[in-house]
Amino acid sequence: MAIAVELKSIYKHFVMNSKSSLLKNLIQKKHSTKRINALTGIDLKIESGEVVGIIGRNGAGKSTLLQIICKTLSPTSGEICVNGKIGALLELGSSFHPDFTGIENIYLTASVMGLHKKKIDKCLSQITDFADIDDFIELPLRTYSTGMSMRLAFAIATSTSPDILVIDEALSVGDQEFSQKSFNRIMELKDLGTTILFCSHSTYQVEALCNRVLWLEKGKIVKIGMTKDVIAAYNEDLEFSSYKKQKEQIDERKGFEDGNTNIDKIHFFKNNEQIKCHTRLLSRHDSLKMKIWFKSIKAKPTLAITIRKKSGEIVGSAGSHNDKIEFLEINDQKFFEINFPEIPLLKGNYYVDISLFCEHGINTLDFAKGVFTFRVIQDDLEQGVVHLNHSWRTKPK
């Protein structure tokens, strides 16, 4: 298949001078600068007709990479090859002139894209109809709102039959109606075989639109591959970072490790097969079972299971006291068993806390925090933390 974009060992460095550095340079007659590595050793091939998502935290190098592909920014070193005409939405209206009217900016921007006047004349009505900014099209751009500028920029980029469409967070601006209209246009271009590079903080949009995803971090490629796999790894990393920031001590277990405890042992089972203290579960498919043994104590204990996201937020719990369940006793062993069939949690990383209470479910006899961790994966685009059982009706009664 033909290659639309190819990058070979792309590096991009920026040299920064603060005001204090400039003053010191003048006084001390020394040259002091700070170099920022925006991109480091980027190798990338994008085939014609691919829809590639680009994700990463702020400052990861996403916009720099797209500007280099669009050739509005030159790399410090490396080779770049782009085959085809690019339609780009980078910084909103970056090629616009504030004193030109909307019509004049259409001709200006489209000519920068490499279109001749005859081609722009043919596209003009399509651009103005799609932008739908009424009489403002004859007014200077400085009178436009940000949303209106975005409408015009998007209309130009997508109405001029680009071979490659580059979108950098542009769809986060504007009303819901235009956002839907924009996505419909993107899907039309996708169906026509247009190569699309789509950068967004909305992993849902990326997952719904893209065939492959590139994950950038600190100017380097962390992972590139199938959308579902890369998005899952990225979300896991985000959640883990959030967990680290809150300095949660998940591995703390009061007395459980040294045996000085009322909880004796805990076993975990995935689909009835015993597993270690970490596993991967398929949402709404795999089951999770726990067996908790405890020492003989005078009180009639109750048990509580709490499932948390790595951020510490509780997503669900179950308690034997609340459910009016008593412990089991088999072969002189006392234990609780709890089963979560077809676990309804959606994709993410979770951990389990286990607490042993008195018979009234109030006084804590023992607990094990972060005793089990698991990652939930899924095969669909459903969003949130938990699946809500539901049904659809398509015919009236």
Percent of the chain with pLDDT over 70: 86
**pLDDT confidence band for 219 (50 / 70 / 90):** very high
Contacts of 9 (CB under 8 A, 6+ apart): 41, 42, 43, 77, 78, 79
Of 260 and 314, the structure prediction assigns the larger pLDDT to 314
Q: Tell me, what's the pLDDT at 175? A: 66
Give the pLDDT score at 171. Answer: 59
* pLDDT at residue 168, as a whole number: 84
pLDDT attached to residue 174:
58
pLDDT given at position 254: 40
Residue boundaries of the structural domains of the chain: 49-243, 263-377
The pLDDT, as a whole number, for residue 257 is: 43
Say which residue, 150 or 193, is predicted with more confidence: 193
CATH number for the domain whose boundaries are 263-377: 2.70.50.60
Judge whether residue 291 has pLDDT over 60. yes
Given this model, what pLDDT does residue 22 score?
A: 55
Of 191-205, 221-235, 241-255, 322-336, the range with the lowest mean pLDDT is 241-255
d(CA 100, CA 98): 6
C-alpha–C-alpha distance, residues 387 and 1, integer Å: 40
Q: Is a pLDDT exceeding 50 seen at residue 259?
A: no
Q: What pTM was computed for the model?
A: 0.67
The whole-number pLDDT of residue 270 equals: 95
More confident residue, 23 or 190: 190
Residue 192: per-residue pLDDT: 92
Output the CATH code of domain 49-243.
3.40.50.300
129: which residues sit within 8 A by CB, 6+ positions away?
none
| 271-288: pLDDT as tens digits | 999 998 788 999 999 999
For range 62-67, the mean pLDDT = 92
Predicted pLDDT of residue 261: 61
pLDDT tops 90 at residue 370:
no
Q: What is the pLDDT of residue 258?
A: 40
Out of 26-35, 160-169, 304-313, least confident range: 26-35
Between 170 and 163, the higher pLDDT residue: 163
Domains 49-243 and 263-377 share a fold: no
CB 277 within 8 A of CB 297: no
pLDDT at 13 over 50: yes
Percent of the chain past pLDDT 90, that is, above it, reads 43
The average confidence (pLDDT) of the chain is: 85
> What are the tokens at 200?
């967004």
Tokens found for residue 83: 């085959």
pLDDT in tens, 307-330: 998 878 899 999 999 999 999 888
Higher pLDDT among residues 45 and 260, named by residue: 45
Q: CA gyration radius for the chain?
A: 28
